[in-house]
Amino acid sequence: MLCLCTNYGDNVRTWICALALLLLPLPTLATDAGKSPSSTAAVDAVLPQVEALYLDLHQHPELSFHEQRTAATLADGLRKLGFDVTTGVGKLGVVGVLKNGAGPTVMLRTELDALPVKEQTGLAYASQVTTHNDAGVEVPVMHACGHDVHMSAWMGTATLLSKSRDQWRGTLVLIGQPAEETVGGASAMLKDGLFTRFPKPDYVIAIHDESELPAGTVGYTPGYSHANVDSVDITIYGKGGHGAMPQTTVDPIVIAARTVLSLQTIVSRELDPRDPAVITVGSIHGGTKHNIIPDSVHLQLTVRSYKPETRKHLLASIERIAKAESEAGGAPKPPLVEFSDASDSVYNDPKLTERVVAVLRRRLGNDKVVEMPPKMVAEDFSEYGKAGVPVVMFFVGAVNPAKYQAAKASGERLPSLHSSLFAPDVKPTLETAMEAETAVLLDLLGKP
């Protein structure tokens, strides 16, 4: 079932591979009549096809907004299951609709993209792919965030639901979203009519694999689960000159140093300590040589928060402090403060989260469902919630349980998502992802 071509950069071979995959026989689908499609037996019946899809996707990762082969693979899989499929939504997004009578509309989202990371797991099926990024630089590519787990479980869940239409009603919408890692894909799909050209969902669900939970378990975070992320560039102006004659200059390096320290007081002194936020100055550049005072210094910041009012406060304070420090230093002109790359926090609808958690506890067992603290990372799943639909993303443990226990005992830190060493425990992770997704969808699309 695996395509052996791995040269991503070679278009012809890539498309021959894609074509070969499209010509594969239909997966044999077995969900025993009367048995729940979320049962372990039903899930295990589709597991071989789902694992094969995982290995194929893992060996053919594609960068954000370049997921042509991946999108074609998913679109073809959904078509074979009887979904009404549209491609090219928001550039490369896939939308599959399966109508099954009157009832609610529920959307399940997966991401399509991978990262410019060189896989170092040493696995037999490790990615060997390299490609050219948008700047024309050759980079390695790896599914280091586990989006291949999400896509293959998503296809397995689509298979299980499509073969058990007597057990649910309503409309199931499956979407494959491009460019999550660069946080442009969700908004591109919405701008292209995701909620107007297709049935608007009553709920949107997504999973993410989790490098801090053992396989077989599921995590959830009610309310805010991912952060608002803003990038800020500050250019501080001085008056350059000889390093031995500071009296003839205004030194922007000294102003920058004071600015960096003053910025630390925003989180520590201005915010409620129970309201988490981060201001990190990740880059500082100025000057060329020991004995020259430069004309300017450039700072690059990442700023993270959950609440919109906190975000507003942070950005306003950064600007205020940058201006005040420049003025205090006698700068010839105010600093240039620029904001970019904004992404909004994910807010898991508390009522929907409660309902989903109850389903997961019933399906997997109380001890397999754990509450997790919010993360400070970005996730453009927030866009669907911002568009006015209750959303919930929950987390599926991806770490081999024995390795997890050993690491816990020794205090060793296991590879995180985005690490070149991240290697999900494939079979139990996919199994739990499908059991969880199928159980949740069956509940939300349940017969009255």
Residue pair 193/175 in contact by the 8 Å Cβ criterion: no
CA–CA distance, 206 with 403 (Å, rounded to integer):
26
Joined tokens for residue 183: 């946080």
The stretch among 68-76, 144-152, 347-355, 391-399 that binds Zn ion (CB under 5 A) is 144-152
Question: How many chain residues bind Zn ion (CB under 5 A)?
Answer: 1
Q: Which is nearer to Zn ion, 347 or 381 (CB)?
A: 381
CA–CA distance, 63 with 75 (Å, rounded to integer):
18
Q: Which residue is nearest to Zn ion (CB)?
A: 145
Residue type, 435: E
Residue pair 236/225 in contact by the 8 Å Cβ criterion: no
Q: How far is the CB of 147 from Zn ion (least distance, A)?
A: 6
CA–CA distance, 252 with 287 (Å, rounded to integer):
9
The stretch among 143-151, 199-207, 267-275, 352-360 that binds Zn ion (CB under 5 A) is 143-151
Q: Which is nearer to Zn ion, 145 or 297 (CB)?
A: 145
Q: How far is the CB of 260 from Zn ion (least distance, A)?
A: 28
Q: Which is nearer to Zn ion, 145 or 266 (CB)?
A: 145
Q: How far is the CB of 208 from Zn ion (least distance, A)?
A: 6
112 forms part of the interface with Zn ion (CB under 5 A): no
183 forms part of the interface with Zn ion (CB under 5 A): no
Q: How far is the CB of 142 from Zn ion (least distance, A)?
A: 11
Residue type, 148: D
Give me the residues paired with residue 231 across strands.
302, 340
Q: How far is the CB of 138 from Zn ion (least distance, A)?
A: 21
Q: How far is the CB of 76 from Zn ion (least distance, A)?
A: 23
Q: Which is nearer to Zn ion, 63 or 145 (CB)?
A: 145
Q: How far is the CB of 113 from Zn ion (least distance, A)?
A: 9
Residue pair 408/132 in contact by the 8 Å Cβ criterion: no
Q: How far is the CB of 425 from Zn ion (least distance, A)?
A: 17
Give me the residues paired with residue 220 across strands.
371
CA–CA distance, 382 with 414 (Å, rounded to integer):
27
The stretch among 138-146, 297-305, 349-357, 432-440 that binds Zn ion (CB under 5 A) is 138-146
**Residue that the structure tokens 């199931």 belong to:** 172
CB atoms within 10 A of CB 26: 9
Q: Which is nearer to Zn ion, 69 or 147 (CB)?
A: 147
- SS3 category, 251: coil
Q: Which is nearer to Zn ion, 81 or 112 (CB)?
A: 112
- First CA to last CA across the chain, in angstroms? 40
Quick one: residue 297, left, alpha or beta (phi over 0 = left, psi -120 to 50 = alpha)? beta
- Among residues 448, 398, 446, the alpha carbon closest in space to that of 37 is found at 446
145 forms part of the interface with Zn ion (CB under 5 A): yes
Q: Which is nearer to Zn ion, 145 or 322 (CB)?
A: 145
Q: Which is nearer to Zn ion, 80 or 143 (CB)?
A: 143
**Which residues in this chain contact Zn ion in the complex, by CB under 5 A?**
145
